[in-house]
Amino acid sequence: MSNAVTVSAASKIFPLARGKRVVALEAIDLTVAPGEFVSLIGPSGCGKSTLLRLIADLDQPTAGRIEVFGKSAKQARIDQDYGIAFQQAGLLPWRTVTGNIELPLELHGIGKRARRARAAELLALVGLSDFADRYPDQLSGGMQQRVAIARSLAESPELLLMDEPFGALDEMTRERMQNELVRLCAETGAAVVFVTHSIPEAVFLSDRVVVMSPRPGRILEIVPVGLGSAGNRDDGLREASGFFAAVKAVREALHGVPAEEVRADSAAGVPSGAPGAEVLYASEAPAPRGLETR
C-alpha cells in the first residue's frame, strides 16, 4: 500500500520585493505511513505551515515532488483525500454549527438527510450536540475549534492535515482536545500531519516528531516516539518515563545536540526533568550541519 504522504526533495522559495527571496523549505524528505501520526515542530518561520500547505496543494513546491496516497498532491486534493484544520477555526459566521460541519458534504453534493445524520454524529464525537443550532459567534474559541475539527472529519478522510489547531486554546482545553484527537484517530485510523509549537503536545500525540530549523527551513531530525498505539494513550501517559525521554530527545534535537547522543539517550529511556508546559521559543542558533534528515 502506498504512503499517505511522500515528500521528496521538496523546496519552496517565496520571491519577495526587489529581487529578494525567502527559502521557506529546502530539500525536504518525509514519508507518512497510513494511519501514522506525525508532528512537525520547530521555531516560527521554519516552514511548518508551508510544508503542510504543499501537502494540501494550497501552494506548489519550487522543486521536488509531493505525493499523497500515491497520487500528485493536486489529484489528492481534487479527490478530497484529506481533511484540513487551521490555527483559526475559519467557520462561516452566517452558518450554524451544523451548517458549518455540513459545508464540505454540501459542496460535494451529499443529500440533506445524509448530511444531517453525519453532522449529528460528528457533533456527538466532539461533544457539541447541544450547540447544533448555535452560530459561531455564540461559541467559545475552544468550541469553534472543535467544530472546525469536526468539519475536517466530515468526509472521513484517510489523511488529516492540522496547522496548530490548538494554538489559541488555554492549557486545560488544549489537553482535553489532545485526548479527544488521540481517541478520534484511534477510531478513524486516519494518518495525521500535525503542526505544533509545543514539545509535550507533539510527543503526546505522535508516532514520530519531525524537528525542523529555519533559514532555510529544513528537517533537523525525526524523533521516533513509539509510545504505543493511539488507543492506549491517556492522561497517565503524560507522567510515564517514556514520555519524558521522548520530550528530552525532541528538545535536544531542537537545540542542536548531535543526533547520535539524542538517540542513545532516548534508547536508554533516561527520564529528563518534568517538561511542564514547555513551549518552544524561536531559536536563533545556527542549525548544526551534516545531520541525517532522511
Ligand X SMILES: Nc1ncnc2c1ncn2[C@@H]1O[C@H](COP(=O)(O)OP(=O)(O)O)[C@@H](O)[C@H]1O
Contacting residue, 54, 56, 126, 195, with other proteins by CB under 8 A: 56
* Distance from C-alpha of 19 to C-alpha of 5, rounded to nearest angstrom: 33
Strand partners, 37: 192
Task: Please answer whether residues 18 and 46 qualify as being in contact, where contact means their C-beta atoms are separated by less than 8 angstroms.
Answer: no
By CB under 8 A, residue 135 contacts other proteins: yes
Name residues contacting Mg ion, limited to 20-49 (CB under 5 A): 49
C-alpha cell at 159: 489523511
Instruction: Closer to ligand X by CB, 49 or 144: give it.
Output: 49
Nearest distance from C-beta of residue 53 to ligand X, angstroms: 7
Comparison of 78 and 267: residue with beta carbon closer to other proteins = 78
Cβ neighbours around 76 below 10 Å, total: 24
Alpha helices in 69-138 (DSSP H): 73-78, 97-107, 112-125
Min separation Cβ 259 and ligand X, Å: 21
- Closest to 227 measured CA to CA, from 243, 249, 238, 211: 243
Amino acid at 2: S
Q: Sheet containing 208-213: which strands, arranged edge to edge?
A: 82-85, 159-163, 191-196, 37-41, 208-213, 218-224
Q: Contacts with ligand X in 200-219 (CB under 6 A)?
A: 217
The least CB distance from residue 51 to ligand X, in Å, is: 7
Quick one: which segment of 36-44, 82-90, 185-193, 210-218 binds other proteins (CB under 8 A)? 82-90
Q: Which is nearer to ligand X, 34 or 45 (CB)?
A: 45
Taking the least distance from each CB to ligand X, the nearer of 32 and 126 is 32
Q: Is 127 helix (H, G, I), strand (E, B) or coil?
A: coil
| The one among 8, 13, 31, 45 contacting ligand X by CB under 6 A | 45
Q: Which is nearer to other proteins, 37 or 86 (CB)?
A: 86
Give the helix/strand (H/E) hosting 41: strand 37-41
Residues that bind other proteins (CB under 8 A): 53, 56-58, 77-78, 80, 82, 84, 86, 88, 90, 92-94, 103-104, 107-108, 135-137
Residues that bind ligand X (CB under 6 A): 14, 22, 24, 42, 44-50, 217
